[in-house]
A and B are shown apart, each in its own frame.
Chain A
Amino acid sequence: MRQGYFALAYLLALFVGSFAASQGLAATVPHVGLLTYWDCSPGTVQDEFGPFLKGLEELGYRKGETFALECQAAGKNYDRLAEAARKLMQLSVDVIVTSSQPAGRAAHQVTDSVPIVSIVSGDPISAGLVASLARPGGNFTGVSYYATELTAKRLELLKEAIPGIVTIGVLANPDVSYLPFEADAMRAAEKLGIGVKLHHIRQPADLDVAIPEMKKESVQAIFVLPDVMLAGEAAHIADLALEQRLPTMAWAPWYPRNGCLLAYSADYAEMLHRLAFYVDRILKGTNPGDLPLEQPTKFELSINLKTANALGIELPQTILLMADEVIE
């Protein structure tokens, strides 16, 4: 009997859903708002949020049927993130989803009522985003990852990969200098006895200057710090580094895929996929403040052997043993 009612309700929902879809989606279906640094072209959205959207699908959501997807972009400008977030607010979305700390932060600055689900790096507590990992307390939750601790770990791995290393060139975007990456990198380098040549990159074109300059400074490797703008410049950096015959250690698996030598990171795809769980729970009525921030359990070392060969570097056995992703 109960099943009968459910079937009826389901049919009704289908009917209402299809009706709503034909009417350009009524306000009854939840609106999920994506906030991106890049742009809202389908390709970019797929690249950035693919695992998240897949996760929603796995939880039974159908885009355009059981939920509406909104997207606002900053057009590769950090300063415009807040404005994009405000636009999402005007679209009265039910939840804002971002894949990066700066976007999540921008959304958090705009609203303290609409739930925000984000990947965060750095310390979300000291950044004022959440009260604690166990009970965020506000409208912000998501997956936090050890970006700061991993900075030191990356440097250690770089040193292990290229044993004779003395000086590194660091690429950092000053727009995110409020995050502790630079300081972490300096501290770790000091601890590991490595000299640092810091280069601030505000825009992609700066790389064309900075990397040849690093070569002149006779650094033995390039160290890329986390930043959304730099995330998009993986191939650019790889090309320039190869040109200068410098190995590169970066913070996301797509760097080696684009020709950089090494990367060590949490599993981004898994973290993005996990965001769907938060959105589902929030749409079902759970208060985001009651959803604990999760931390990744899986870390990946990615290496590009092609690049290693091109650079004439023979990676030690420990690195090969630890590698989760090897590009040949």
Chain B
Amino acid sequence: MRVSIHREAAPVRRSLFRKYFIALFAAVIVPVAASGISDAWFGYHDQRAMLSALLRVEATSAAGKMQSFLAGIRNQLGWTLQRTLTTAAGGQHRLEALRAMRQAPAIVSISLVDHAGVERLYVSRIGLNRLEGGSDRSGDPAVAGARSTGIWYGPVTFRNGSEPFLTMALLGPIDSIAVAEINLKLIWVVISEIRVGRSGQAIVIDQTGRIIAHPDISKVLQGTDENTAAALRRLRDKIVAAHGEAATARNAEDERVVTAMAPIPSVGWTVFVEQPQAEAFAPLYASLWRTGGLLLAAIVLAAALAYWLARRMTGPIRLLEEGTEKIGAGQFDHRIDIATGDELERLAVRFNQMAQELAVSRDRSERIARLKRFLAPQVAELVEKSGDESVLAGQRAEVVAVFCDLRGFTAFSAHAEPDDVMQVLRDYYEALGAIITRYEATLTNFSADGLMVLVNAPVPSAEPALRAVEMAIDMQDAVQHLIAEWRLRGHAVGFGIGLAMGRATVGRIGYEARVDYTAIGNVVNLASRLCSSADDRQILTDDSVACSVGGKIPMVALGARHLKGFDEEVRVYDVGIRSLTSDFAPDATEISAKS
């Protein structure tokens, strides 16, 4: 039994523990992972968008600063153009030009050209001034440019191949033109103050892609080599490809940067702002690491939780399995101990109750089996059902004792083959047993061919004597049929019955393992003696049986007989057998008349 259960349990294809573990683990980790991953995803996009917006703002603001630098110079130039250029006012113009240079340190020189294109004044910080008598500058592209567009910006020139200069020409309200040379190194002050994040920077390049402003002034003064120009072109292409959003690329120093740009339309320059990628994405990386860490922690926690819960669920189930195995193996005293307070505990309680009931049921069936040895099965059931075995307790009761045995059996058994002997006895007991059961009589004991039956104990019956006599008649009848068969086979046996009614002590005797029900008293001896004295086919009864039966069954009074063990003579009646009833009928009426 035990082995077979194990054989069933071992090849569990997918254990409950595993299923629970996976289900619980998934229940915890899937939402956490989904939220973490979506957070990271959206965080990444937000961060990228924010970074792009930030860099674009920085670029626009840097471009704005460049533009206001140029606008400041333009405004200063504007002040020099308020008066008509006349010789008389020459000193005044010079003062205005000097004032403009004082206000705008980047202006290295200013030329004032009149409406005819003649230079009227030239003041410089370094070169010698020219007052009056100036040359014709109407062919100067600056002058021509300013005349046609109002304001003209020249290309950036690198003086001595190093310092960047810009020429700006402005047309005044009275057709005079101011041409200024501007030292672009001064925008270095503006550009070097721009800080994008911690170490990001801004760079300005002109139309031709040459660097004109860089926080590291050396990069401007050295001139822009082909590699740098190519790198800057690459940055520009990348940003254009990203539709103006910040792009990641390698800059001229071959560092990974995030970069955005903004144009300075008036001069055709471009401002790049760039931030090292590692720095720009640091918050993003930090948040990714954080998400990863949390996810890992969640996995560990979920695994621990799932393990604990799965254990908690499958542990009691295992206990139940073991418990049922033990109970199945007959250990009804085994109790499954589960205190989870849930359905599993209830199930365990049910199992325990079942085990208890199985134990009770087994005890009962054992008891019934025991009772059935001497009580008719239905009687045994009755006693069992009532649950009251007090009926089996010792008491004095009015009983009918019935004894019967075969005549000539000892002699038969002495020379017959054992098989024949046993066959005879088998037929004999089969016939008698059925009758005893039918009459709900109590078979107290039997040995070889003799047996003793009680009527009215332990279960009382309405007319015990009549019942006993009818049973005896049936028994005699049945056995006589058997005897007829036996005689055909040459077995010379007969059958006699003795009955007696009277008070006797009844009850169980014996020890725990072997208990019998029996009756003790004179009536038992009497019945036994009557049986002994009965001939074949005879049913002898005593006086009290005959009186109790009355005239219901005809009997033949045989008169008083002296029986062994009895001092007085006993009056004996013969019931006879059914097949002979007709023969003896007159006698029977006789008896009833006599009594």
Do A and B actually bind?
yes
Given A134-B162, A292-B218 in contact, is the A191-B128 Cβ separation under 8 Å? Answer: yes
Closest Cβ of chain B: how far from A214's Cβ, in Å? Answer: 24
- How many chain B residues have a CB neighbour from A under 8 Å? 27
Given A153-B127, A318-B95 in contact, is the A297-B186 Cβ separation under 8 Å? Answer: yes
Q: Is the interface of B mostly helix, strand, loop or mixed?
A: mixed
A292 to B223, CA, bound (A): 9
B residues less than 8 Å from A191 (CB atoms): 128
B residues less than 8 Å from A149 (CB atoms): 126-127
CB-based contact A297/B185 at 8 Å: yes
A residues less than 8 Å from B106 (CB atoms): 297
In the complex, whether A126 has a CB less than 8 A from a CB of chain B is no
In the complex, whether A294 has a CB less than 8 A from a CB of chain B is yes
8 Å CB interface, B318-332 against A: none
A292 to B225, CA, bound (A): 14
CB-based contact B128/A321 at 8 Å: no
Given A135-B222, A291-B218 in contact, is the A322-B161 Cβ separation under 8 Å? Answer: no
CB-based contact A134/B126 at 8 Å: no
Which one, A146, A294, A318, contacts B94 given CB within 8 A? A318
A294 to B95, CA, bound (A): 30
CB-based contact A156/B128 at 8 Å: yes
Closest to A291 in B: B218
CB-based contact B126/A299 at 8 Å: yes
CB-based contact B102/A322 at 8 Å: yes
CB-based contact B161/A132 at 8 Å: yes
In the complex, whether A298 has a CB less than 8 A from a CB of chain B is yes
8 Å CB interface, A270-328 against B: 281, 290-295, 297-299, 317-318, 321-322
CB-based contact B126/A153 at 8 Å: yes
A152 to B161, CA, bound (A): 24
A268 to B341, CA, bound (A): 92
Given A132-B161, A149-B127, A156-B129 in contact, is the A290-B105 Cβ separation under 8 Å? Answer: no
Closest Cβ of chain A: how far from B185's Cβ, in Å? Answer: 5
Given A134-B161, A318-B95 in contact, is the A294-B128 Cβ separation under 8 Å? Answer: no
A321 to B92, CA, bound (A): 12
CB-based contact B163/A318 at 8 Å: no
A residues less than 8 Å from B98 (CB atoms): 318, 321-322
In the complex, whether B125 has a CB less than 8 A from a CB of chain A is yes
Closest to B184 in A: A297
CB-based contact A134/B221 at 8 Å: yes
Chain B 214-251 interface 0/1 with A at a Cβ cutoff of 8 Å (1 = within): 00011001110000000000000000000000000000
A295 to B125, CA, bound (A): 13
CB-based contact A188/B128 at 8 Å: yes
B residues less than 8 Å from A321 (CB atoms): 95, 98-99, 102
A192 to B217, CA, bound (A): 37
A residues less than 8 Å from B4 (CB atoms): none
Closest to B94 in A: A318
Closest to A274 in B: B217
In the complex, whether B183 has a CB less than 8 A from a CB of chain A is yes
A32 to B81, CA, bound (A): 52
Closest to B161 in A: A134
Most interface-central of B98, B126, B185, B223 (chain A CB within 10 A):
B126
Given A135-B222, A317-B95, A321-B102 in contact, is the A293-B162 Cβ separation under 8 Å? Answer: yes
Interface residues of A (CB under 8 A from B): 132-135, 146, 149-150, 152-153, 156, 188, 191-192, 281, 290-295, 297-299, 317-318, 321-322
Interface residues of B (CB under 8 A from A): 91, 94-95, 98-99, 102, 105-106, 124-129, 158, 160-163, 183, 185-186, 217-218, 221-223
16 other A-B residue contacts (CB within 8 Å) besides A134-B221, A153-B128:
A132-B162, A133-B160, A133-B161, A133-B162, A134-B160, A134-B161, A134-B222, A149-B126, A150-B126, A152-B128, A156-B128, A292-B221, A294-B217, A295-B162, A297-B106, A318-B98
